[in-house]
Amino acid sequence: MFEVFATLSIIDYLRILVEIAVLTFVIYRFYLAISDTKATEVLGMLFALVVIYLLCSALKLDALTSIMNIVAVPFMMLLCVFYHPELRRAFSSSFSRKSRLFRGQQTTGDQIDSILNACNILVEKKRGALIVFPRHTDIQSILDSGTKLNADLSSTLILTIFDHDTPLHDGACVVQGGRITYAACYLPLSEQRNIKATFGTRHRASLGLAEESDAVILVVSEETGAISLSYNANIYYDLSSETIKKTLLKLLSYRDVLPEERQKQEAGEGENA
């Protein structure tokens, strides 16, 4: 075995190192993209299948090995068909250009309170709303479909946007940091077939974007008055304001959720000063 390595040249060693580095990078990026999503189930099943196959081969269980050789490809195809929304989101997140607006421009607790205040008023008025919070994945195509605002975030502006008498109410508004950057953005509809029949277009649109990106989408139902969140290819229906605030702070507000990290950051800035 060691004699093989002795025959390798420096170029061969460099080639092996490059291949290992590239493979490690791809696997790492893919893992980050699918973590906390249903796509992890696919990897788990594939890993279990590989382990069983290797055990059958090592134990010379020829019958089982032959059966697995026959069913392996159809099984993998079924997994890809069944989990294709999650896998598509994973690949999109892995290789898409990253947004620079997430780090350092988090939505604060006070700003989330303003958003929730507007949502509760919209519920009373029986109005619907779609509010998108981009994170890391680039959603420029979604932004390009809307109207650029770049205005300070406020309850009044959100109520104005989703008023039926304004041309911006049809679509989603986008909140980045403490600003409403776009309105009237069109979101892709989810292709899932097991969505509840009671979910309308807004819920399907929010889930569609959650399948294709790591954005968080807040939905106000015009029919039922339920306020929901969509993220990680899932929709969490009819949540309380307290639950929504905690979830948004966890997903969007680095400084509000991790005060100890904020103290470390401020201490570091003091030392640098």
Q: Considering the entire predicted model, what is its pTM? A: 0.63
Q: Could you count the other beta carbons within 10 Å of the beta carbon of residue 86?
A: 21
128, 122 Cβ separation under 8 angstroms: yes
Question: CA 202, CA 199: separation in Å to the nearest integer?
Answer: 8
Question: CA 216, CA 235: separation in Å to the nearest integer?
Answer: 10
At 254, the amino acid letter reads Y
Supply the DSSP symbol for 239.
-
At 216, the amino acid letter reads V
Instruction: Return the pLDDT at 80.
Output: 67
Look at strands 172-176 and 129-133 and give their pairing: parallel
Question: CA 114, CA 218: separation in Å to the nearest integer?
Answer: 13
Question: CA 113, CA 111: separation in Å to the nearest integer?
Answer: 5
| pLDDT averaged per 10 residues in sequence order, the chain, 273 residues | 60 78 71 57 72 79 79 73 61 50 63 95 94 89 92 94 85 91 93 80 93 92 94 92 93 54 45 40
142, 186 Cβ separation under 8 angstroms: yes
The superfamily in CATH containing domain 109-259 is DNA integrity scanning protein, DisA, N-terminal domain (3.40.1700.10)
Of the candidates 141, 139, 142, 144, the one whose C-alpha atom is nearest the C-alpha of residue 98 is 139
112, 249 Cβ separation under 8 angstroms: yes
Paired residues of 176 in beta bridges = 179
- Taking the domains of the chain in order of start, what are their residue ranges? 2-95, 109-259
